[in-house]
């Protein structure tokens, strides 16, 4: 039982991963592009995890420690709820900026080059995108005085929804329509990974889709059979190049 408590996020991820293999991706297992896709996503996860352990976690803790402590001094429930909404909104702003600012797009592009959308796509975040996102989060944490407990809870919830809404594991359509009013779901997020810019510059939300509705970036269309995951102007890159490409002169193009 203790093993389950200590490793429930790992169990959650691999539970979805193997359900996808059984019900959705069983024809992909032997395909070369699927194996390359998983290898690329895993390498990006490892690189981002390393920079998080070495540097990013420490600066987040410092930002909280020396912050205004405004939200941290409120009652625990109010503090945590407000902090989650504020950090999620900051994530929406950063995500949208990553599509609209060329410098940030060169890193976020790596996530969108994935041509096989599944739960592992949620791990495909370039380490420098994670770095810049963390800097924005640190600023928000400092200004609003967000406590470390709230930061940890937000991180856990964000991971759960990032893995879920990138997955192929869908609920009955009527249930998912109701759920998508409140939180992000696979059907909500799918248009964002279409290769057509008209679709992929929409539905930016990480946890709460209300931000897209408020700021007119909500795309109510569901994924069509004629759509393709990835980017129309470029094929996917291999694992090593996914780390290097944003650092080259033609990164983001």
Apex 22 CA angle, 18 and 24, nearest 5: 100
Confidence band of 218 (pLDDT split at 50, 70, 90) = very high
Nearest CA to 105 among 231, 189, 227?
A: 231
Which of 98-107, 144-153, 170-179 shows the lowest mean pLDDT across its residues? Answer: 170-179
Residue 5 has pLDDT above 70, yes or no: no
- N- to C-terminal Cα distance for the chain? 49
Residues of the chain with pLDDT > 70, as a percent, come to: 93
Q: Is residue 179 part of a domain?
A: yes
Q: Is residue 160 part of a domain?
A: yes
Q: Is residue 149 part of a domain?
A: yes
Q: Is residue 76 part of a domain?
A: yes
Number of structural domains found in the chain: 1
Residues making up the chain, counted from first to last: 253
The pLDDT, as a whole number, for residue 248 is 85
Mean pLDDT of 47-63: 95
Q: Is residue 103 part of a domain?
A: yes
Q: Is residue 118 part of a domain?
A: yes
The pLDDT, as a whole number, for residue 1 is 43
Residue 53 class from Cβ within 10 Å (0-12 exposed, 13-18 middle, 19+ buried)? exposed
Q: Is residue 199 part of a domain?
A: yes
DSSP assignment of 227-247, as one string? --BSBTTB----HHHHHHGGG
| Residues spanned by the domain of 214 | 38-247
Q: Is residue 252 part of a domain?
A: no
The pLDDT, as a whole number, for residue 170 is 78
Mean pLDDT of 82-93: 98
């Amino acid at each position: 039982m203790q093993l389950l408590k200590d490793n429930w996020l790992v169990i959650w991820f691999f539970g979805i991963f193997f359900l996808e293999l059984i019900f959705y991706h069983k024809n992909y297992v032997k395909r070369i592009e699927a194996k390359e896709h998983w290898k690329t996503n895993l390498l990006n996860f490892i690189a981002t995890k390393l920079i998080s352990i070495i540097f990013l976690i420490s600066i987040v803790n410092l930002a909280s420690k020396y912050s205004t402590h405004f939200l941290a001094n409120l009652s625990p429930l109010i503090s945590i709820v407000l902090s989650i909404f504020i950090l999620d909104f900051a994530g929406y702003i950063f995500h949208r900026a990553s599509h609209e600012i060329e410098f940030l797009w060169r890193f976020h592009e790596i996530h969108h080059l994935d041509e096989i959308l599944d739960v592992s796509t949620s791990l495909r975040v370039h380490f420098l995108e994670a770095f810049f996102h963390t800097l924005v989060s640190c600023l928000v944490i400092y200004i609003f005085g967000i406590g470390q407990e709230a930061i940890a809870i937000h991180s856990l919830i964000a991971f759960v929804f990032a893995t879920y809404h990138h997955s192929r594991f869908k609920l009955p359509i009527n249930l998912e329509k109701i759920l998508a009013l409140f939180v992000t779901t696979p059907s909500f997020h799918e248009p964002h990974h279409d290769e057509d810019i008209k679709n992929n510059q929409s539905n930016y939300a990480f946890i709460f889709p209300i931000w897209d509705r408020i700021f007119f970036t909500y795309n109510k269309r569901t994924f069509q059979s004629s759509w393709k995951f990835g980017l129309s102007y470029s094929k996917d890159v291999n694992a090593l190049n996914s780390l290097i490409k944003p650092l080259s002169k033609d990164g983001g193009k």
